[in-house]
């Protein structure tokens, strides 16, 4: 604009513009670019497993304050306006749950929630084994059963280990007495006799809880 005015003034006044004036006019006439700061927006996608609390504060009934406790750290769970997520979350209150979504600080904008699979509790089979109680001699290093007997040999090999068990229909059930000294003493007194042993079974090992002689 300044250059145009000077040019018009020069034409009308018969003046000629000097190079310095023209350069100054060009500088003023050219707009400077506006520098705006750039940025990188990072989105963190997460899958988190922990104890879910649907209404952590128990105060606002209409707008529950949901939380997920993961390894002792608490995160806010935001379901937004997704009614399906709200309905899915209600029955999971107090239970282990898996939440997926995006993390911003301590808040998870949830996209899904589901119950975490419960760990399967190993099944315990309670048994009552009846038969002749004998010594079970095994190889100390390999655990291989070498033989069973009512009376131990006078000389025992250093490579042997001695346990107890009952054979039923050709199948040997070995006894695990744990650290119960009284139970062990009772078992040793009943070697060679018919007994009834009760406990839990794992493979071919009976974790004995009680044993008694059969008349």
Alpha helices for the chain (secondary structure H): 2-13, 19-29, 83-89, 181-189
Q: Residues 94, 129: one domain? A: no
pTM, two decimals, is: 0.46
Tens of pLDDT, residue by residue over 36-60, are 666 666 678 999 999 999 875 555 5
Q: Is a pLDDT exceeding 50 seen at residue 215?
A: yes
Judge whether 91 and 135 are in contact, CB under 8 Å. Answer: no
| Confidence band, pLDDT 50/70/90 cuts, at residue 86 | confident
Which domain covers residue 203, as residue numbers? 125-213
Q: Residues 71, 108: one domain? A: yes
Judge whether 89 lies within some domain.
yes
Tens of pLDDT, residue by residue over 102-121, are 998 889 999 999 998 766 66
Q: How many domains does the chain have?
A: 2
Judge whether 6 lies within some domain.
no
Q: Is a pLDDT exceeding 60 seen at residue 141?
A: yes
């Amino acid at each position: 604009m300044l250059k145009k005015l000077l040019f018009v003034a020069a034409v009308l006044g018969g003046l000629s513009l000097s190079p310095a004036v023209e350069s100054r006019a060009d500088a003023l006439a050219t707009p400077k670019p506006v520098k705006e700061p750039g940025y990188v927006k990072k989105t963190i996608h997460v899958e988190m497993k922990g104890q879910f609390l649907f209404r952590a504060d128990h105060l606002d009934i209409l707008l529950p304050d949901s939380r997920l406790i993961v390894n002792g750290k608490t995160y806010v769970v935001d379901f937004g306006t997704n009614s399906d997520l709200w309905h899915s979350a209600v029955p999971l209150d107090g239970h282990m749950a898996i939440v997926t979504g995006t993390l911003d600080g301590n808040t998870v904008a949830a996209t899904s929630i589901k119950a975490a699979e419960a760990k399967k509790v190993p099944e315990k089979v309670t048994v009552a084994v009846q038969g002749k109680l004998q010594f079970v001699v095994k190889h100390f290093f390999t655990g291989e059963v070498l033989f069973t007997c009512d009376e131990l040999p006078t000389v025992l090999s250093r490579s042997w280990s001695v346990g107890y068990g009952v054979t039923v229909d050709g199948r040997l059930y070995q006894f695990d007495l744990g650290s119960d000294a009284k139970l062990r003493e009772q078992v040793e007194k009943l070697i060679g006799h018919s007994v009834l042993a009760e406990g839990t079974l794992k493979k071919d090992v009976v974790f004995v809880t009680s044993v008694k002689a059969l008349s």
